[in-house]
Structure 1
Amino acid sequence: MKKPLLQSVFVLLLALAAGSAFAQIAPKAYAPENLRTLSVQDQTRVISLEYSEQSRGRRIPDDQLRFYLDQVNRSNWTFSRIKQDIAQSLGGNSGGWNPNPPAHGQTILCESKSGDARRCTPPWRGQSRLVRQLSNSRCEEGATWSSQDGLITVWKGCRGEFAPGLAVGGTIRCESNDGRGRTCRTPWSGHSRLVRQLSNAACIEGRSWQSQQGQVYVGNGCRAEFGPRAGGGGGSSQYSVTCSSEDNRRKTCAYDPRQGRPILLQQISNTSCREGYSWGYAGNQIWVDRGCRGRFGPR
């Protein structure tokens, strides 16, 4: 009877040792600050590993990975910047990641530790925004936290780090994760416009996103960056041009430069319209490609 018992103990010790050894050799998302010194394959590997570590094993969304690779190779984002941005994307921030972190020192911690409501007074005036979730409980604006002029309220276990709200004229990101609908408050009054689509799923106004006074709603997997809708730019706010890439072929459409630089007012296609990738502006023409069909006009 003693021999089988000793064998069992020995096997258990071996398993524990093997588990410890595996933990020590498990890959870590280590990388130099300047990711441009790595190949694109290695950039992809370390960014994916960092996201997996912070999200406890989840896979980084393809569009978010592409966004980071673009920022590394076009805007010289460092590895620390990407790590910080991943933390913000997983922490809430109205459902999306924000590549514009708050200035150093301009944050406040507000915690609902026992599930009860807690009010915090920030050192700034105006609205606030969530920049990092610290709790296991979800911090979702309107559901577990809210902001008023000079006041932050958290409840239902939300513990987060908050910063001043974005100035009028800035942008916010609003994301429909897992296809679920989400409403995001905006730091400006009035309606919003789509600035940049981040998801593979189409963001089409009236179908997968819409705006109201001070709010943006997204659904059906739409993830995008939004800004305030306004006329101006020297032209008529009613002026617009519809341009379509048929059969994924490149097409150019005449545009009146006196109206001001165009933006994407409405995506018509299911295929993503992304500036610099599937549409752009040069001289007095708008070009579209890769199946993008959209309505363009001045800001």
Structure 2
Amino acid sequence: MKRWLSLVLAVLASALAAPAAYAQNYNGPTVSCASRDGGYRECYTGFRGPPVLVNNVSDTRCVENRNWGSRRPGTVWVDDGCRGLFREGMSFMPPPGPGPAGSRVVRCESGSGAYRECRVNRYATVELRRQLSNSACLEGRTWGMRDDRIWVRDGCRGEFMVTAGSGGGWQPGPGPGGNYAITCESQDGRYNTCNWDSRYGRPGRIQQLSETRCTEGYTWGFRGDEVWVDRGCRARFFAR
């Protein structure tokens, strides 16, 4: 009886330990990120998939979404004394489907890490459809839109969905928004909100006006009938 009970406990212990063993044995480069003096810090990883904690280096326990996590691709953040070693986890995103009517795919590549521009229509909506490089393609950092061009740098290679308006040829802005746009500015690095006509949906793309990078979810965002900007982001926001 004791021998049978010991066998059952051993099997249960093995099953519970499986996720940790998988994380430790996952083959790939690691990135260290440390919260110094208990403060917030964000580290660049270059991962295409989500970061996975493989080693808790600090005395403080690192708990995902409490004192560590990822707010955008290619980065990991830590806070409240968490110091950890991270690897790239598996990404289960399905392959992209066909784009909307009036769209086309433009391939733009930063060869050998160099800056490059690819021409598109000035009023088109551009979205990253598929990343082709090992280097992370992060909007506002390694790729973006400037006037009538997509720009890439630091090794970003991607396929971009470029959507035009309906009717013959390229139109000045797809969808019901037409050429509707607003300019919103974070003055002296302060948080600011600007009115947005929600009838036009959410902003589809931006034209960055500041030297500070405008990164969605970090230095700008959209909420109901407002666009918000922060940390020096100044940009012109276009309707889809």
TM-score normalised by structure 1 residue count: 0.39
Larger RCO, structure (CA 8 Å, separation 6 or more)? 2
Structure 1 or 2: larger strand share? Answer: 2
Greater share of helix: 1
TM-score by length of 2: 0.47
